[in-house]
Structure 1
């Protein structure tokens, strides 16, 4: 189903070239300018908030799993998710803030969940800047005004969540700050545009003084986490001593964004209350721990299944069955046997149109949420012929766009 604003946009050739004439911020341009989809995307504001509310409700449901199925033992819960003990030791049992990005496909007038992301997996938070610039572009502004278009900026929502009057650092580790330098420069630029100067650093640059983390001598009030639990293992002493500096999101968020949580929830569906079942059925495709599904079943249903590493991100460890041969699929299953993988039902998204391109496009809608609700969108898309994994960092053919709401 094509919504009325999308249909109006696709029919109005006068606005089709606007994406190529955007006055983008310099760092955003350097990171994304060569990989823009040739159109913006549109969504009813009420739908954006409805799906965000569903995502937050799903998070609430996931947070009950340790008590519901593991007697409140986070040690048993972590083991069931395949989280190594040395990583689980860094995670508290405290419930983290509900901040993350849910990646979904549009199927007709519905949206289906692929995965939840938090902390280290939260790329694209600066993509709200694209929607902001679109609305200010002279070629597009009359269209935006005629349709009452607005936008929600994930950067603004993140800064509201952590506190704009605090000293903030975005932290990585393992050379990832250099590897993704353009992306972090774009995030830093977006924060500055909204009045907040943030620091960038890595775990090995931290010291602890008077109970606070310091980055290159500057005391931090809050550290926005882009490092993983695996990367943090060598810094347990620093992180546990730095308790006066807030870690946003804390490592405990990994209890809920690990793909194994979705497998656990899907598998235990029949033990849920009716309203909880309805929520799971609305959002979540059939998902299981790979080790729990008979090998013959997985091999036979290759065309309808995708195998994913439970703890990886940026498309690493994602294997769509429909893009490989039977022999390759069997070899993959042998290769990952015993590792932490899930298998999920294939979601078949509704193709999108891009003006000037006859190919059908595959779009991932990345719903950002905070405790306050809907927090903006990360739109990533590419032609179906370019693959099945839409990931800006993991697939060089992936492009990005902005979301405007009405």
Structure 2
């Protein structure tokens, strides 16, 4: 890949690194230890991705607007949970999403509580290619730590003022938990439910302990719980010591390795507000983003303009006609004839699994995948967005010299309770583009920051 910093970031602040490469690598390795990153083995970044303040804040305002539309699209698709599942082509018993609460008000109130969209910066600016809506997405702890690293590195070894600004995801999520507890009249007591297994089989629970520490420093009672400590670790059945919890796991990962969900069901049955609600996964279903792209009857002109600006053309794959550049065409024929223009994605998926980029696929594989998607009606097609390269300074983990490499990052502004919570990034240090995922394809991680006004 060749190219220079994209036009969308040309007015970003520039700062000079004050520490030698070896010292930067030492700080990175120390701060990110046992958090599932590949700082020890891969080419590591020597700076954050830096945007202008306008561009940085635009990511969050667009994310919040689109998330509100996703929520409305799901809730208005049908008046009942069974109807919404049916609208998404899912079994009415909801077995794909096994941790629904019986409290529909809770399900609807907190379905959009936490979100991390994935954004590609194309020639026309940011394009939101999907939304992760859950409590299990990666990025909060990494962004928290990397922001601390870059402010230390670029503040002359920690002896100057912090040169970068970034919303702190852990502080933002803690503030959300405080609001939930206060609004519900509950004690400020939060359980983080997860497993170190999710963090690349980490040897310790440090990844979660970092967030527990942030919560405790704000005066909250907080603790991390692995599944074998549930439900008794929360005081059950005699009492509920943690009335609010973070659902820091993906049910598909737990069930795939034989982990029972019964302890979590016991926690939910006790009345614990395990956030976000299971209905969040309905918003994350990629079909909903395709619905918005196609347009829904209740959408205003402002809604349609927001989607048109930030969401690449997307449709649910099925035997139908679709509007394409001002005219209606046969969708299957369009997909087969225009392979290089499109990406196929399973509607339910994570970590870049079952995503197929037409231009990186053989015609035979593309045709077979289109045929399967038409039969199962479980996928969407999306217009491919070419990332405008960003030149990032980095260094091989075994060297002491730096170089700038043009990379194609995926940026992820995070929202907690609808408020900004920092921006995470993944990219391939080689400069390759493609399906960018940390655990799926081995991408490197970084934070997205902006300069502090002087």
Does the TM-score normalized on the shorter chain lie above 0.5? yes
| Distance across 1 between alignment mates of 2:69 and 2:30 | 41
| Distance across 2 between alignment mates of 1:150 and 1:141 | 17
Shift in Å, 1:180: 4.2
Q: Which moved more, 1:303-312 or 1:57-66?
A: 57-66
The verdict on how the C-alpha distance between 1:154 and 1:182 changes in structure 2, with shifts beyond 3 A counting, is farther
1:94 to 81, 88, 108: 108
Indicate the SS of the match to 1:76. helix
2:241 to 211, 214, 219: 219
The alignment status of 1:307 with 2:350, answered yes or no, reads no
Kindly tell me the number of residue pairs found equivalent between the two proteins: 396
| Distance across 2 between alignment mates of 1:182 and 1:218 | 29
Partner of 1:275: 302
Shift in Å, 1:30: 3.3
The alignment status of 1:363 with 2:409, answered yes or no, reads yes
2:91 to 84, 90, 107: 84
Which runs of structure 2 are paired with 1:31-70 in the superposition (5 Å)?
Answer: 31=35, 32=37, 33-34=39-40, 35=42, 36-66=44-74, 68-70=76-78
| Distance across 1 between alignment mates of 2:214 and 2:367 | 50
Shift in Å, 1:348: 1.2
Instruction: Tell me the alpha carbon deviations over residues 284-314 of structure 1, each in whole angstroms, 9 at most, x when there is no partner.
Output: 1111112255322212111111111111111
Instruction: Tell me the alpha carbon deviations over residues 73-101 of structure 1, each in whole angstroms, 9 at most, x when there is no partner.
Output: 33222212233333367253523253211
Shift in Å, 1:402: 2.0
Partner of 2:328: none
1:241 to 265, 269, 276: 269
| Distance across 2 between alignment mates of 1:84 and 1:254 | 14
2:128–2:312 contact (8 Å) kept in structure 1: yes
Unaligned runs of 5+ in 2: 1-6, 182-186, 321-330, 394-401
2:206 to 185, 190, 196: 185
The verdict on how the C-alpha distance between 1:391 and 1:18 changes in structure 2, with shifts beyond 3 A counting, is same
Shift in Å, 1:49: 2.8
Partner of 1:153: 168
The verdict on how the C-alpha distance between 1:17 and 1:234 changes in structure 2, with shifts beyond 3 A counting, is closer
Which runs of structure 2 are paired with 1:108-147 in the superposition (5 Å)?
Answer: 108=123, 110-127=125-142, 128-137=144-153, 140=156, 145=161
Shift in Å, 1:237: 4.8
Shift in Å, 1:53: 2.1
The verdict on how the C-alpha distance between 1:386 and 1:95 changes in structure 2, with shifts beyond 3 A counting, is same
| Distance across 1 between alignment mates of 2:114 and 2:19 | 34
| Distance across 1 between alignment mates of 2:23 and 2:50 | 14
Partner of 1:375: 421
1:27–1:186 contact (8 Å) kept in structure 2: no
Partner of 1:29: 33
The verdict on how the C-alpha distance between 1:19 and 1:123 changes in structure 2, with shifts beyond 3 A counting, is farther
Partner of 1:346: 384
| Distance across 2 between alignment mates of 1:305 and 1:292 | 17
Partner of 2:4: none
The verdict on how the C-alpha distance between 1:181 and 1:168 changes in structure 2, with shifts beyond 3 A counting, is farther
| Distance across 2 between alignment mates of 1:144 and 1:261 | 46
RMSD value, Cα? 3.5
Q: Which moved more, 1:247-256 or 1:285-294?
A: 285-294
Instruction: Tell me the alpha carbon deviations over residues 169-198 of structure 1, each in whole angstroms, 9 at most, x when there is no partner.
Output: 32247x944754369522322542564585
1:380–1:401 contact (8 Å) kept in structure 2: yes
The verdict on how the C-alpha distance between 1:341 and 1:357 changes in structure 2, with shifts beyond 3 A counting, is farther
Instruction: Tell me the alpha carbon deviations over residues 121-142 of structure 1, each in whole angstroms, 9 at most, x when there is no partner.
Output: 4111112211112212366569
Shift in Å, 1:334: 3.5
Indicate the SS of the match to 2:246. strand
| Distance across 1 between alignment mates of 2:370 and 2:423 | 34
- Going by fraction, where is helix more abundant, 1 or 2? 1
Which runs of structure 2 are paired with 1:319-330 in the superposition (5 Å)?
Answer: 319-330=356-367
The alignment status of 1:252 with 2:289, answered yes or no, reads no
2:64–2:418 contact (8 Å) kept in structure 1: no
Instruction: Tell me the alpha carbon deviations over residues 48-85 of structure 1, each in whole angstroms, 9 at most, x when there is no partner.
Output: 33331222222222222245443x23322221223333
TM-score, structure 1 length as denominator? 0.84
| Distance across 1 between alignment mates of 2:49 and 2:20 | 12
Unaligned runs of 5+ in 1: none
| Distance across 1 between alignment mates of 2:77 and 2:157 | 52
